[in-house]
A and B are shown apart, each in its own frame.
Chain A
Amino acid sequence: MEEKGRIGIPRALMFYRYFPLWKVFFEELGWRVIVSDGLGKRGKLVYFEDSCLPMKLLITHSMDLKEKVDHLFIPRLVSLHRSYIMCPKFRGAPDIVRLATEGTVSILDETIDLRMREHSTLRALLKTGKRLGVTEKDGKRAFQKAERFFLNFQKGWEDRINGLPLKQVFHLESPAPAKNEEKPFRVAFIGHPYNLFDTDVNKDILSFARSLGMRIITPDGLSEKEINAQVSEFSKEIYWSSGREIVGSLFHFLSGGVDGVVFLTSFKCGIDALLQEFIRRRLKLKGGVSIPLLVLSLDEHSGREGLTTRLEAFRDVIEQQKIRNPKHEIRNNPK
């Protein structure tokens, strides 16, 4: 098919979960998808406002793309769940990018709010397609294909993050490795997807974890039921979907199935700051846990050295724990 134009997707925020879906959708419609480069070691962060690092990266990547594309795809992600919402900063994200790029590039900023009955990801993408001159029929066809691809991609997720170099996890053309080597430890990494998988945010800490003999488990594989089981008894419902997932999966993994849990937080992330305190206090009230937990706070100022030192020490802790308390092995099978 002839190329209709270029759509830029900034490598930031929910890119780290939905990129496969978005990319296939646009490509099926004949648009070329351009992704921003990583920031790398010497990259310059754009300081337009004083948010968390992931939000600053969204702006930085958008600036990088603005001259290379016809449209930037920055959907307004209000809610990606029937009942729960995204961080409020996501609501203003397309506007902030519009101001930062001084209106020099068209932004596809369709609102996605799945709490509304008439809304759906399909609808939002169809509307986006309409702006690009796509018929509803073609849009639907592209969406079906994208969704199939996305589901398939998710199935291979755990193998991808344990087998591929972390920077290639979202190279859709790289196939999921068939089988990963055996690792002595199973460690759950919890956090917003962009903290977990953006190597510019976490200084590629997952690669380092792998080199320490850790098999990486992420909350992506948990069902909503498993999350709900952990968070339903709280005195108030956690209304951010990411926050629910973080707290739910953290308590889930701490109750067994892994050798250790690492929680990656963004400094200045309002959700993380609040929930971190909640998690700490609740664990204490429940008499602590036998599975080691490590909390790492990330921002543009954190040096890799500080992170690797702590992760190394953490590996030693879980190793000791395993020797002292081998019965965990028996429960070591979540599914």
Chain B
Amino acid sequence: MKVTFPHLGTMHIFCKAIAETAQIPYVVPPETSRKTLTLGALHSNESICLPFKIILGNFIEALQLGADTIVMVGSGPPCRLGLYDLVQKVILEDMGLRYRWLTIPPRLTWQAIWKNYEETKELKKELSWKNILLFPYGLRMGWKKMMACEALEKLAMKVRPREVQKGETQKRLKKALSGVDEARTLRMLDETLQRGTALLQETEQDFSRAPLKIAIVGELYTVMDPHINRGVEQKLGELGAEVTRTSWFSTHILRSLRKNKADQTSERIRFFEASKAYLGYDVGAECNLSIGEAIVRSQDGYDGVVHLMPFACMPETTASGILTRVGKDWDIPILTLILDEQEIEGRIQTLLEAFVEMLQWKRKAA
């Protein structure tokens, strides 16, 4: 058995940690590249959303490298994400690739646990007692690594707009993240996190700057994965903006475990409430939150909002229609970027540069 999982931001780091700690053989799919996207797009329909194409590409590449078991977090209605597995399974089968599929239940319901039990029945036979015993430790390791990655990324978002040498923060972040990836024990992880934090903090910074504040909102794959959004977070940071976002793995995991106590989750409730002025119902996925966050950020004194969505994304299409009005009503500039498979990195750079300049003018005029 060789497990694999899709790429999404730093997810490969902690998925790998779980497998490694539990001593389960795994294959990390090659980093999402032009080739991944081309493969995914070639084997799907043009109007299917971008995350589908990229995840499919990751799976194809991983299976070609010898993986045989796909582990994927399940999802449900109302948007297409909940049926990715139904369609991706027939595509892989039709391509003649052999695989087994293991769904991690997104919500702990009896149905989901039963399905998971059914799927894992065969797989469990291939696991040794050692794998099973080590698994809880693996989960803990994975969770800690996830939190470490998030802490480093959040810190980088603060340092980036103040860096003196452009690109320095990104280099240091990369180094710090690979340190996390390499840590084998919880103690090593603690040390490496401290080292990484220090590394980022030691970046030469100009503290006299007052960076623009920009919130990134939108569909979660496009917000969380730099390959899908062509590095929007880094680009904005290097243009001198302090970026925030509320989509993190921990937010979504805590939310699905219904641990509402966490701050991030209660923040999401605040966004949802704010969206009610425009939307009378939960449209699904991040739609209402994109709208609500734009409103709340405007109240919080942010300079602008960047809204990310895949081309033809169902919930975010509704959001983008409403956001046009939110921007006017709340006097906050909102830039919607629609992402698809085309080579549009240059265009995104141009749009972001112009957006940042516009926000600077607006600030000066105020």
The reply to whether A and B meet directly (CB within 8 Å) is: yes
Give B312 Cβ to nearest chain A Cβ, in Å.
5
In the bound assembly, the distance between CA atoms of A91 and B45 in angstroms comes to: 25
Q: Are B325 and A99 within 8 A (Cβ)?
A: yes
User: Please, what's the 1-or-0 string for B43-57, where 1 marks a CB less than 8 Å from any CB in chain A?
Assistant: 011111100100000
- Is A36 an interface position by the 8 A CB rule? no
In the bound assembly, the distance between CA atoms of A85 and B315 in angstroms comes to: 14
Closest to B115 in A: A236
- Is A174 an interface position by the 8 A CB rule? no
In the bound assembly, the distance between CA atoms of A313 and B288 in angstroms comes to: 45
Closest to B323 in A: A49
Q: Are A268 and B79 within 8 A (Cβ)?
A: no
Closest to A94 in B: B280
Residues A92 and B283 in contact in the complex (CB < 8 Å), given A99-B321, A273-B48, A284-B94: yes
- Is B147 an interface position by the 8 A CB rule? no
Q: Are B90 and A91 within 8 A (Cβ)?
A: no
Give B199 Cβ to nearest chain A Cβ, in Å.
43
Give B318 Cβ to nearest chain A Cβ, in Å.
4
- Is B76 an interface position by the 8 A CB rule? yes
- Is A270 an interface position by the 8 A CB rule? yes
* Chain A residues, CB < 8 A from B283: 88-89, 91-92
Q: Are B280 and A76 within 8 A (Cβ)?
A: yes
* Chain B residues, CB < 8 A from A78: 281
In the bound assembly, the distance between CA atoms of A267 and B79 in angstroms comes to: 17
Identify which of A251-259, A274-282, A314-322 touches chain B: A274-282
Interface residues of B in 324-356 (CB under 8 A from A): 324-325
In the bound assembly, the distance between CA atoms of A105 and B220 in angstroms comes to: 35
Q: Are B78 and A88 within 8 A (Cβ)?
A: yes
- Is B132 an interface position by the 8 A CB rule? no
Interface residues of A in 234-249 (CB under 8 A from B): 234-236, 238-240
* Chain A residues, CB < 8 A from B93: 281, 285
Q: Of B48, B279, B284, which one neighbours A274 at CB under 8 angstroms? A: B48
In the bound assembly, the distance between CA atoms of A276 and B44 in angstroms comes to: 10
Q: Are B282 and A91 within 8 A (Cβ)?
A: yes
Q: Are B49 and A270 within 8 A (Cβ)?
A: yes
Give B45 Cβ to nearest chain A Cβ, in Å.
4
Closest to B318 in A: A92
* Chain A residues, CB < 8 A from B285: 88
Closest to A59 in B: B321
- Is B262 an interface position by the 8 A CB rule? no
* Chain A residues, CB < 8 A from B278: 95, 99
Give B89 Cβ to nearest chain A Cβ, in Å.
6
In the bound assembly, the distance between CA atoms of A48 and B320 in angstroms comes to: 10
* Chain B residues, CB < 8 A from A2: none
Interface size on A, residues (CB 8 A): 40
In the bound assembly, the distance between CA atoms of A111 and B49 in angstroms comes to: 28
Identify which of B80-88, B178-186, B247-255 touches chain A: B80-88
* Chain A residues, CB < 8 A from B317: 49-51, 89
In the bound assembly, the distance between CA atoms of A253 and B324 in angstroms comes to: 43
Closest to A92 in B: B318
Give A119 Cβ to nearest chain B Cβ, in Å.
13
- Is B243 an interface position by the 8 A CB rule? no
Closest to B48 in A: A273
A-B contact count (CB 8 A): 122
User: Please, what's the 1-or-0 string for B24-66, where 1 marks a CB less than 8 Å from any CB in chain A?
Assistant: 0000000000000000000011111100100000000000000
In the bound assembly, the distance between CA atoms of A95 and B45 in angstroms comes to: 30
User: Please, what's the 1-or-0 string for B354-366, where 1 marks a CB less than 8 Å from any CB in chain A?
Assistant: 0000000000000
Q: Of A51, A99, A268, A270, which one neighbours B80 at CB under 8 angstroms? A: A270
Q: Are A49 and B318 within 8 A (Cβ)?
A: yes
In the bound assembly, the distance between CA atoms of A87 and B314 in angstroms comes to: 8
In the bound assembly, the distance between CA atoms of A289 and B323 in angstroms comes to: 46
Q: Of B79, B85, B279, which one neighbours A95 at CB under 8 angstroms? A: B279
Q: Are B321 and A91 within 8 A (Cβ)?
A: no
Give A100 Cβ to nearest chain B Cβ, in Å.
8
- Is B287 an interface position by the 8 A CB rule? yes
* Chain B residues, CB < 8 A from A275: 87
* Chain B residues, CB < 8 A from A91: 78, 281-284, 318
Closest to B322 in A: A99
- Is A96 an interface position by the 8 A CB rule? yes
In the bound assembly, the distance between CA atoms of A281 and B93 in angstroms comes to: 9
In the bound assembly, the distance between CA atoms of A267 and B78 in angstroms comes to: 19
- Is A109 an interface position by the 8 A CB rule? yes
Closest to A236 in B: B86
Q: Are A267 and B47 within 8 A (Cβ)?
A: yes
* Chain A residues, CB < 8 A from B46: 273
Q: Of A87, A95, A236, which one neighbours B280 at CB under 8 angstroms? A: A95
* Chain A residues, CB < 8 A from B324: 49
Q: Are A76 and B281 within 8 A (Cβ)?
A: yes
Closest to A243 in B: B83
In the bound assembly, the distance between CA atoms of A85 and B78 in angstroms comes to: 7
* Chain B residues, CB < 8 A from A87: 78, 314
Interface residues of A in 256-298 (CB under 8 A from B): 267-278, 281-282, 284-285
In the bound assembly, the distance between CA atoms of A94 and B86 in angstroms comes to: 31
Residues A270 and B320 in contact in the complex (CB < 8 Å), given A88-B78, A281-B94: no
Q: Are B279 and A92 within 8 A (Cβ)?
A: yes
Residues A235 and B82 in contact in the complex (CB < 8 Å), given A92-B318, A95-B322, A109-B280: no
- Is B198 an interface position by the 8 A CB rule? no
Q: Of A94, A270, A276, which one neighbours B79 at CB under 8 angstroms? A: A270
Interface centre among B76, B312, B314 (most CB of A within 10 A): B314
Q: Are A50 and B76 within 8 A (Cβ)?
A: no
Q: Are B85 and A235 within 8 A (Cβ)?
A: yes
Give B52 Cβ to nearest chain A Cβ, in Å.
8
Closest to A284 in B: B94
Interface residues of A in 55-100 (CB under 8 A from B): 76, 78, 85, 87-89, 91-92, 94-96, 99
Closest 7 CB pairs of A and B: A49-B321, A273-B47, A88-B78, A92-B318, A270-B314, A281-B90, A236-B86
Q: 5 A–B contact pairs at CB < 8 A?
A: A50-B321, A239-B77, A270-B47, A270-B80, A277-B87
Interface residues of B (CB under 8 A from A): 44-49, 52, 76-80, 82-83, 85-87, 89-91, 93-94, 101, 278-285, 287, 312-315, 317-318, 320-322, 324-325
Known: A88-B79, A239-B77, A282-B90. 19 other contacts (CB 8 A): A48-B321, A49-B321, A50-B317, A50-B320, A76-B281, A91-B78, A91-B282, A92-B287, A95-B281, A235-B85, A236-B86, A239-B76, A239-B83, A274-B48, A275-B87, A277-B91, A278-B86, A281-B93, A285-B94
